Amino acid sequence: MSWITRFLASALPLSALSQQFPPPSLFSIADIPNLSDKVIMVTGGNTGIGYAICSALLKHDATVYLTSRSEERGKEAVAKLKGETGNEAILLQLDTSDLSSVQSAASDFLKREDHLDVLFENAGVCVFDLGSQTRGAVDLTFATNVLGHSYLDKLLLPALENTLKITGHKARIVITSTVGLKGAPQPNGIDFSTLMVSDPTRAAREKLGGLGLYSQSKMVSHYISSCPLRVEYRATPLTFVTSLHPGGVQSGAFKHAPPSIKWIVDLAVRVFFHPAEQGALTPLYAGVSPETADAGGRHFVPWAREATAALDKRALNEETQELSANWMAERIEDDRARL
C-alpha cells in the first residue's frame, strides 16, 4: 500500500486522492523538540484535531492556551488532557463567530503573556442551515472559519510581533484549510454576495449550498496565507504557514449535516477518514518543527509534506486577496461599531 501512496504523491502531488491517501509520514510526534519555552494558542482545542495538537504540545511541555466555544466542554478537555499528559492547558472561552468573544479572549491572553510563539487557527465548522448567521448577518460558516480568526490575528499582533524581540525567533500562524477549497465558486473562489444572509442573497446561497459555503471559507483562508497583503502584516517579522489539508480526518467539522445525508457522512468518515492524531501531524510539523522555522507563505499537505504549489491557483489572485481582506476589515469595523 505504501508504494501506491508514494506513487500518488509523486505523480499527482496536489490531487485530492493523494491527500486522502498520503504516503507514510516522515515526521512524528517524537520529532517535536522540547517546547518548555514556547507559548502556543490552539483555537478549537477541545476536540478533534485541535485536541490532538494540544495533547502533543503538552507532552513536550509547551504553555498551551486551549480555546473552546463552550466553557464547559473546554474544562472537560483541559481535565482530560491533564490526565493524559500530566500538564495543564489554560482555557480561553472563544467563539470565533462572535467578534466580542474574540476580543474578550484576546484581551485575556494579552493580560497574561507578552508574546505568542505559535497560533494554530484550527477552529472550523460546516453549517448546512443556510439561515445561520452572526448578529451582523454574516454567514456563520465564514464568520467561524475566517472572519473571527482574522480579527484574532489583528488583536494578537502585539504579542506576535514581540516574539522575535523577546525570543529571537519568528512567530508562526498556522492556518488550517482543506482540499475541499477546490469546491469554491468559479471563477475566483469567492462570491461576495453569499457572505451576508438576507432575502436578496438567498438564491445565490442556495446555489452554493452548505458545502460550497464551507469550501469558499477555506479558499479565503488560503488567500490569507498565500500573500501577506494585509497592511498590518506587511512590515512585521511574522511567518505564515498553512496546513492546507490536514487530511481526511475524523473530526466534528460536519456534525451539522442534515439528517437526510448525515448517515452517509458519518459512514464515510468512519470508513475512509483517519484518526485526529494523524490529522494533527501536518499542523504540528508546520507549527513547531525546526525544519519549518522559515516557512512563511508556504503550504503543507498530509502527512507533514510541503506542497509543491498552492493547492488552488485561484488563491494567488492578488486582486481577489485584497478584496477579501478589505471586505473582512469592513465587517469587523461594522461589528465593533455595534459593541
Tell me which residues are annotated as active site. 177, 214, 218
| C-alpha–C-alpha distance, residues 240 and 175, integer Å | 8
The answer for 191, left when phi > 0, alpha when psi is -120 to 50, beta otherwise, is: beta
| C-alpha–C-alpha distance, residues 136 and 114, integer Å | 32
Residues whose CB falls within 8 Å of the CB of residue 100, separated by 6 or more in sequence, listed in order? 335, 339
Joined grid coordinates for residue 248: 481526511
Joined grid coordinates for residue 258: 442534515
As a three-state string, the secondary structure of 261-316 is HHHHHHHHHHHHCECHHHHCHHHHHHHHCHHHCCCCCEEEECCCEECCCCCCHHHH
